[in-house]
Amino acid sequence: MTALKINGEVQQVDAPDDMPLLWVLRDVLGMTGSKFGCGIAQCGACTVHLDGQAIRSCVTPLAMAAEGEITTIEKIGDTPVGQRVQAAWLDLEVVQCGYCQSGQIMSAVALLAANPNPSDADIDAGMAGNICRCGTYPRIRAAIKKAATL
């Protein structure tokens, strides 16, 4: 059993140490807000926070995740920055199919937490790891700027 600190609670997980956190979340704990997109850290759909840093849970082994505190999309709205990002996302209707947006929001929150007033270049650098097939990039850019002002 591995003790996983997740969204402020400790969960005992019966899974191998090398199992990627994404599958622990989705298939063991039933937390399906984090998404599978590529499995090789190319698309960012699986992004969660480990000690506040955006990480790709599809390539992060359980053992590594257990060394810190995990935050997922299910509870990011409880943080002030998360709340602002979600509000801006809804205000500007960023979302289309929505499948990548858990990861987009987690990356955006990590970006804003580290850099409260990001420039276009900062946004590009912070968000280029997250693919959106619906093409919501212009609205993501605008929503991050908006969230910075809320």
Partner 1 sequence: MSPRLEAAPPVGRHALSRRAIFKGSALLGGGLVLGALMPRVTKTWAQAAGTPPPIEPPSAFLRIDEDGLVTMIIPSTEMGQGIYTAEAALLAEELDVGLERVSLVAAPPDEKLYANALIGMQMTGGSTSIRAWFLPLRRTGAAARQMLIEAAAGSWGVPPGECITSNGSVSHAASGRMAGYGELAAAAMALPVPSAITLKATDQFRLIGKSLKRLDTPDKVRGKTVYGIDVRLPGMKIGTVASCPVFGGKLKSVDEAAALAVPGVSHVLKLDDAVAVVGDHMWAAIQGMQAAAPVWDGGAFKDMSMEVLVGSMAKAAQSDGLVAHDQNDAPGAYGKAATKLEATYQLPFLSHAPMEPINCTVQVKDGVCDVWVGTQVPTRARMLAAKGAGLAEDKVTIHNYLIGGGFGRRLEAEYVGQTAAFARQVDFPIKLVWSREQDIQHDTYRPYYYDQLRAGLDGQGRIVSWQHKVTGASVYNSYMGGWPADKVDPDAVEGAVETPYAFPAQRVDYVRWDPAPMPISWWRGVGPAHNVFVVESFMDELAHAAKQDPVAFRLPLLEKDPRAKAVLQLLADKSGWSSAAPAGVGRGLSLQLAFGSYVGLVIEASVGEGGLIRVHKATMAIDCGFVVNPDTVRAQMEGGLIFGLTAAMYGQITIEGGRVQQNNFNDYRMMRIDEAPVIDIHVVASEAEPGGIGETGTTAAFPALANAVFAATGKRLRKLPLSPVDLGAA
**In the stretch 17-56, what mask flags binding to partner 1 with x, by CB under 8 A?**
--xx--x--xxx-x-xxxxxxxxx-xx-x-----------
Q: Does 142 bind partner 1 (CB under 8 A)?
A: no
Alpha helices (runs of H) in 58-119, residue ranges in sequence order: 62-65, 73-76, 80-91, 101-114
Phi-psi region of 4 (alpha: psi -120 to 50; beta: other; left: phi over 0): beta
- Alpha-carbon distance of 95 to 41, in angstroms, equals 22
Q: Does 63 bind partner 1 (CB under 8 A)?
A: no
- Alpha-carbon distance of 102 to 136, in angstroms, equals 13
CB of 64 to partner 1, least distance (A): 15
Q: Does 74 bind partner 1 (CB under 8 A)?
A: yes
Tell me which residues touch partner 1 (CB under 8 A).
15-16, 19-20, 23, 26-28, 30, 32-40, 42-43, 45, 72-74, 77, 86, 89-90, 93-102, 105, 123-125, 127-141
